[in-house]
Amino acid sequence: MSGTPDPAARPADENHYSYRHYADAKVAEGFDDLRFGGPIGRLLLESQQAVLVEALAPVSGRRVLDVGTGTGRAAIGLAQVGATVVGVDASAEMLQVAAARAKAAGVTVQFERGDAHALPVGDRTFDAAVSLRVLMHTVDWKACVAELCRVSRWRVVVDFPALGSFAAIESGTRHLGNALGRRVEAYRVMAERDVASAFAASGFRVVMIRRQFVLPIALHKAVGRLGVTRTIEGALRKIGLLRLLGSPVTMVAER
């Protein structure tokens, strides 16, 4: 696998925040604490790992590409349960943190520079490709889905904030902030049917969907009490709101 993508194949808008924001050593160093710190962050990480293991079972021995690996959390988790993992990210700063985390965890993960829109990987090179918290930020998410499908011989796992969820409110406020000149990640929310259609265009069918929370993750983090989160989310799930409003959505598609 080459670690150098073809520059001509990269998106035209390299000033997009999804490149600029993460090409910052301070952002990379603080990313894990911001995303996975505290009891709710740990719950988020644990549930993410559980879904990945379920989606790719049996994991041991599988060859997996983690696209937009960031600090390598998913890649390291999969390596810990026996997968052979390559993590790809456009940010050298994030990859530096990922490599240090993998070394500290005592696992081997190959990390490479690469762009999700034009992966430096041959067709069907991997058993599976995963891309978490990535499509919501990319310049052209459909091109990224097509690339994930191209390099996987079996399954692709993605997640995204749902259009019909409370995440849509936060997304709207961030887009407004971005328009007003604030430095924010103005991520997109996505409809399940649109993502499923993108998979179908590459010959994949959706075989599994999991949803994480009804209430915004930011709200749960602000409260910071795991017992409260479990109680509230459990009650909302029992009355069917997780199925209707749950986000982020993890979608698994198969060739």
Q: Are strands 247-254 and 63-67 parallel, antiparallel or unpaired?
A: unpaired
Q: By residue range, what is the domain housing residue 30?
A: 7-254
Is residue 15 in a domain?
A: yes
**DSSP single-letter state for residue 162:** B
Answer whether residue 7 shows pLDDT above 60.
no
pTM of the model: 0.88
Is residue 39 in a domain?
A: yes
The amino acid that residue 93 corresponds to is: E
Task: For residue range 10-67, list pLDDT tens digits in order.
Answer: 444 677 777 877 888 888 888 888 778 888 988 988 999 999 999 999 999 999 999 9
Residue 157: phi, psi to the nearest 5? -120, 125
The mean of the pLDDT values for the chain is 88
The structural domain count of the chain equals: 1
Is residue 2 in a domain?
A: no
CATH code at 192? 3.40.50.150
The pLDDT score that the predictor gives to residue 213 is 92
Answer whether residue 135 shows pLDDT above 50.
yes
Report the Cα–Cα distance between both ends of the chain, in Å, rounded. Answer: 22
Is residue 23 in a domain?
A: yes
Q: What is the mean pLDDT of residues 99-120?
A: 96
Is residue 163 in a domain?
A: yes
The pLDDT score that the predictor gives to residue 2 is 44
Answer whether residue 209 shows pLDDT above 70.
yes
Answer whether residue 8 shows pLDDT above 60.
no
Answer whether residue 97 shows pLDDT above 70.
yes
Is residue 1 in a domain?
A: no
Is residue 111 in a domain?
A: yes
The pLDDT score that the predictor gives to residue 31 is 81
Task: For residue range 173-189, list pLDDT tens digits in order.
Answer: 765 666 666 666 667 88
Q: Are strands 63-67 and 84-89 parallel, antiparallel or unpaired?
A: parallel
Burial of 234 (0-12, 13-18, 19+ CB in 10 A): exposed
pLDDT tier, 68 (very low <50, low <70, confident <90, very high otherwise): very high
Half-sphere exposure of 219 (CA within 13 A, CB side): 12
